[in-house]
């Protein structure tokens, strides 16, 4: 019973079935809407089917019991299989150099047999030197009139597969740790503001950091064609009100603080900001004021009061605009917009000002207002992440790549060279063993060429 279980869990057939099942599950995950998107889709299905999909977890396959089950079985499969095979690889690793495996030198292809007129002794000593020069440690054995040399290369590569397989366990463990202990949240911070509260992504409850973050400035740069070039937040991290760290956060350059990583995730324009207004009565002499929403100021002549109602970065696609409320000395209120690009707009829509006096910056005669510029105020959207599983996953990734490279580019090879006499000639035969036949062939070709170049044959 125990034996049957063991052979079941160590079989490659099980591996293949598990891997195919996973691939199919992932395919479902890319074709069916998942999580947030699934609700609406589920309503369009018949209740029976949507209930079945729900029960199988197909609307959230990457967190479904089915997926975790497959992962668990794969991990078990890998563990049992590796434990089973380890002694085999160990035995291979420790295989003695001699005796030479049975049948190794029978049926050699012609290019693996080199013949020379040189006598055996001369041939042997130069061959031994050549092998020592090229391979370092070699073993020698004399048996029944034959001399054998044995060379082992990249013996450790026999264990590379275990690296590859173990790495998968590391990655599975790392990802589970990350999903259990990790945290992901988002926070928007306006320029100049400070906070230590982050809305968690799952469920949206509020998470309190033990330090706070201030956004000093957000900068958006664009290319000449309008595509975004840089999003950048200048952040200050504070502990007990004292700055402990400052940094510029950009996409692809997260900031790591106290086990949390901060990412530049989004941005927007915060309501408010400051604007520079100009106005004149048309008799030369222009005045300039810097204002924010809610500010009031008096017009020099005539005793009217101006109040700033709104400042917009892009009003109805007309660009920056400021909305004013002017109270005349008679107590009348006049409201209108001052758009920065009003001259160009009026040229494009000649009827605009007559149809919509609301956009006429000269509505309060005899004044005319100008919008010089607005200082956009932004908020930055930060993603805040803590994932204690990352080091384990990274270790797994490294191990997997190292294992694969070791296995495929530096495979284990064992080479034997036999020297004997064939009639009056001396005969050198080359043979070897490896899982990687092509690499072995290349190695033997190379050795053959070296022997010829040295003039041994």
Partner 1 sequence: MSHTLILSWVTFIYFGAFVLYLFRMILGGRSWGKLASLAAWAGFAAQTAAILWRWKVSYSLGIGHAPLSNLYESMIFFAWAIMLLHLFIEWRTGSRAFGVFVVPLAFLAMAYASIAPGVNNEIQPLIPALQSNWLTSHVVTCFMGYSGFAFAFGCGLMYFLKTADADKPENSNRFLKRLPTLASLDLMIYQSIALGFVFLTIGIMTGSIWAHYAWGSYWSWDPKETWSLITWIVYAVTLHVQYIKGWRGKRMAALTMVGFASVLFTYLGVNYLPGLHSYLN
C-beta of residue 220 within 8 angstroms of C-beta of residue 208: no
Q: Which does 161 bind (CB under 5 to 8 A by kind): partner 1, ligand HEM, none?
A: ligand HEM
Cβ at position 77, least distance to ligand HEM in Å: 4
Indicate the pairing of strand 260-269 with strand 287-292. unpaired
Say how far residue 112 (Cα) sits from the centre of its chain: 48
Neighbour-count burial for 184-197, b at 16+ CB within 10 Å, e otherwise: bbbbbbbbeeebee
Residue numbers at the binding site for partner 1 (CB under 8 A): 12-13, 15-16, 19-20, 22-23, 26-27, 29-31, 34, 62, 175, 184, 223, 225, 227-231, 250-254, 261, 263-265, 383, 385, 387, 390, 393, 397, 400-401, 404-405, 408-409, 437-438
Indicate the pairing of strand 146-153 with strand 413-422. antiparallel
Given the complex with ligand HEM, which of 13 and 44 has the nearer CB atom? 13
Q: What is the Cα Rg of the chain in Å?
A: 39
Given the complex with ligand HEM, which of 17 and 362 has the nearer CB atom? 17
Cβ at position 197, least distance to partner 1 in Å: 18
Sign of CA dihedral 451, 455, 456, 457: positive
172 vs 165: CA distance, rounded Å = 11
Q: Which does 390 bind (CB under 5 to 8 A by kind): ligand HEM, partner 1, none?
A: partner 1
Among 42, 58, 81, 393, binds ligand HEM (CB under 6 A): 81
φ/ψ (deg, to 5) at 47? -55, -40
Contact call for residue 435 and ligand HEM (CB under 6 A) = yes
Structure tokens at 60: 């959230």
Cβ at position 38, least distance to partner 1 in Å: 14
What is the greatest pairwise CA distance in the chain?
A: 131
Binding part of the chain for ligand HEM, among 74-82, 245-253, 315-323, 379-387 by CB under 6 A, reads 74-82
C-beta of residue 81 within 8 angstroms of C-beta of residue 10: yes
Q: Which does 228 bind (CB under 5 to 8 A by kind): ligand HEM, partner 1, none?
A: partner 1
Residues 140 to 179: which contact ligand HEM by CB under 6 A?
161, 164-165, 168
Among 25, 42, 61, 78, binds ligand HEM (CB under 6 A): 78
> CB within 8 A of 265, min separation 6: which ones?
186, 381, 382, 383
C-beta of residue 273 within 8 angstroms of C-beta of residue 287: no
Contact call for residue 10 and ligand HEM (CB under 6 A) = yes
Residue with tokens 């049948």: 103
φ/ψ (deg, to 5) at 365? -75, 150
C-beta of residue 244 within 8 angstroms of C-beta of residue 235: no
Cβ at position 192, least distance to partner 1 in Å: 23
Q: Which does 435 bind (CB under 5 to 8 A by kind): ligand HEM, partner 1, none?
A: ligand HEM
Return the residue nearest ligand HEM (CB atom): 81
Residues 374 to 413: which contact ligand HEM by CB under 6 A?
404, 407
Q: Which does 387 bind (CB under 5 to 8 A by kind): partner 1, ligand HEM, none?
A: partner 1
C-beta of residue 432 within 8 angstroms of C-beta of residue 440: yes
456 vs 450: CA distance, rounded Å = 9
Given the complex with partner 1, which of 38 and 397 has the nearer CB atom? 397
Binding part of the chain for ligand HEM, among 8-16, 308-316, 370-378, 441-449 by CB under 6 A, reads 8-16
Binding site for ligand HEM (CB under 6 A): 10, 12, 15, 19, 74, 77-78, 81, 85, 161, 164-165, 168, 404, 407, 435
């Amino acid at each position: 019973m125990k034996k049957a279980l063991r052979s079941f869990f160590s079989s490659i057939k099980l591996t293949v079935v598990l891997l195919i099942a996973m691939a199919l599950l992932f395919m479902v995950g890319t074709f069916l809407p998942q999580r947030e998107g699934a609700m609406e889709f589920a309503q369009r299905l018949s209740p029976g089917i949507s209930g079945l999909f729900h029960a199988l977890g197909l609307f959230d396959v990457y967190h479904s019991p089915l997926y975790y089950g497959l992962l668990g079985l794969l991990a078990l499969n890998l563990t049992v299989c590796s434990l089973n095979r380890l002694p085999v690889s160990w035995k291979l690793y420790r295989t003695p150099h001699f005796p030479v495996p049975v049948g190794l030198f029978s049926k050699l292809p012609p290019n693996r047999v080199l013949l020379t007129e040189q006598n055996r002794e001369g041939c042997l000593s130069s061959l031994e030197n050549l092998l020592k020069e090229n391979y370092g440690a070699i073993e020698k054995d004399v048996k029944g009139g034959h001399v054998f040399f044995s060379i082992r290369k990249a013996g450790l590569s026999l264990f590379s597969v275990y690296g590859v397989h173990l790495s998968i366990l590391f990655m599975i463990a790392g990802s589970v740790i990350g999903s259990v202990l990790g945290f992901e949240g988002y926070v928007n911070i306006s320029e100049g503001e400070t906070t230590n509260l982050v809305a968690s992504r799952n469920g949206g409850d509020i998470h309190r950091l033990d330090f706070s973050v201030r956004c000093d400035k957000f900068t958006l740069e664009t290319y000449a064609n309008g595509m975004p070039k840089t999003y950048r937040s200048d952040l200050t991290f504070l502990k007990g009100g004292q700055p402990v760290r400052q940094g510029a956060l950009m996409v692809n350059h997260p900031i790591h603080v106290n086990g949390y990583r901060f990412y530049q995730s989004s941005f927007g324009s915060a309501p408010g900001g400051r604007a520079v207004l100009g106005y004149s009565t048309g008799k030369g002499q222009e005045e300039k004021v810097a204002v924010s929403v809610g500010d009031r100021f008096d017009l020099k002549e005539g005793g009217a009061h101006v109040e700033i109602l709104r400042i917009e970065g892009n009003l109805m696609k007309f660009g920056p605009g400021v909305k004013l409320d002017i109270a005349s000395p008679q107590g009348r209120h006049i409201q209108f917009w001052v758009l920065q690009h009003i001259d160009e707009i009026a040229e494009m829509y000649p009827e605009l000002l007559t149809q919509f006096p609301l956009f006429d910056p000269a509505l309060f005669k005899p004044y005319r207002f100008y919008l010089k510029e607005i200082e956009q105020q932004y908020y930055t959207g930060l993603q805040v992440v803590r994932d204690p599983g990352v080091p384990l996953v990274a270790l797994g990734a490294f191990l997997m790549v190292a294992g694969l490279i070791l296995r495929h580019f530096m495979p284990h090879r064992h080479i034997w060279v036999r020297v004997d006499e064939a009639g009056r000639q001396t005969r050198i035969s080359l043979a070897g063993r490896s899982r990687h036949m092509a690499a072995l062939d290349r190695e033997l070709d190379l050795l053959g060429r070296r022997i010829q170049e040295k003039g041994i044959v």
